[in-house]
Structure 1
Amino acid sequence: MRPAVDPWGDAGRAAAVSTYCAVAVVAATARMVVLPSLKSSDGAFDEPFGFCLMPLALIPLWAFAVAASLLHALPATVLGLRLAARTGRPRWLCLLAAEAVTAAVLAVPVVWLGGPYLLAWLCIAGAGAAPVLVTSFYAGRRDPEGRTGWARQRQVAFQISVVAVALIGVVFAGGLLAYGTGLLEEYRPPPGASVE
């Protein structure tokens, strides 16, 4: 039985890819804000040259988002919608359960490569929760103007990008507030410590 909505349609695919990109950029922004306060700061963003290279990361980020959507968000969304239709449970709960199961399966290769399974599962599940929920939301919405294809994908990507930019602004404002109030302080080596 097919779910009532089609996550593999124009809006669902665009939502999955765009949300993965948004999650990655917001997480990188949060890391950049917190990095100066950490003792293990590697200084990756200390030089202007690092900022110049950031646009080059967009191509592999987009490729990762497409692969993650096809292997993770879209199958998990379909599974969650079917689970909700069969059990009558709240849709968001079924989507998160399907996301956890999909992440558990995707984390298995990490064990074969000698990595920690639990940490891999938590990272995959955490990164995929927002794309699965957003994909479900957009897959169930029809455009009032009837746009399909590239026009609908562009519309969905733009809407998610606006939310991502707002979240980045919140992260930066939170960082300014945290550093300004002393909640976070820039790490400085103790006097006399050798600087490598």
Structure 2
Amino acid sequence: MKTHQWMAVAAGVMVATSASAQSEGGAGGGGGGSFGNAGQIVVSSDASGSLGYTTEGAGYGYFSIEPSVDYFLKENLSIGSGIRLRVVFPEGDTAAAFGISARVGYNISLTDKISVWPKGVVTLNVGDDLLGTIPEGTLAASTVILEGYAPFLYHVTPHFFLGAGPRLALGLGDEVEVTFGVATTIGGYF
């Protein structure tokens, strides 16, 4: 094939892809209307951080990242799982914890480009204190963490979103710990 024929083929593929994306994008062309359809798979990463007081009385900071995959069983109802890596900064030290999570969520469309996707999350820490430096009374000492997370999503383009929202965590271990913060998320769906 000559160069101009390849360019014609490439232009045809781009037009077909664009038409397909617009037909999947919902009535207004934004991503908000189509997010949450039955059978969709969502790949995202949640990140959260906090500095300050916890109910354990130990002031410490942490940063957590959780790559995850969710599947919409039916319209707006999702189930998913993720892997969590948490780095804790207690009293000048650094420690890491590893966990796996399961979650269920329900997407509520507010506008064509904005929705809220509240989720209930259960995380099992399977590698507490990977570096062996966490003192007593920190979140990484929790074996099970129950969370409620409600990110407000902005659907930047069809199949891509950014979001942030409140996150409440209840750590269950030797003692109960409550942590409140704001978490962010970024992801896409197909």
Judge same fold: TM > 0.5, yes or no: no
Structure with higher helix content: 1
TM-score (norm 1): 0.26
Higher share in strand: 2
Q: So what's the TM-score if we normalise by structure 2?
A: 0.27
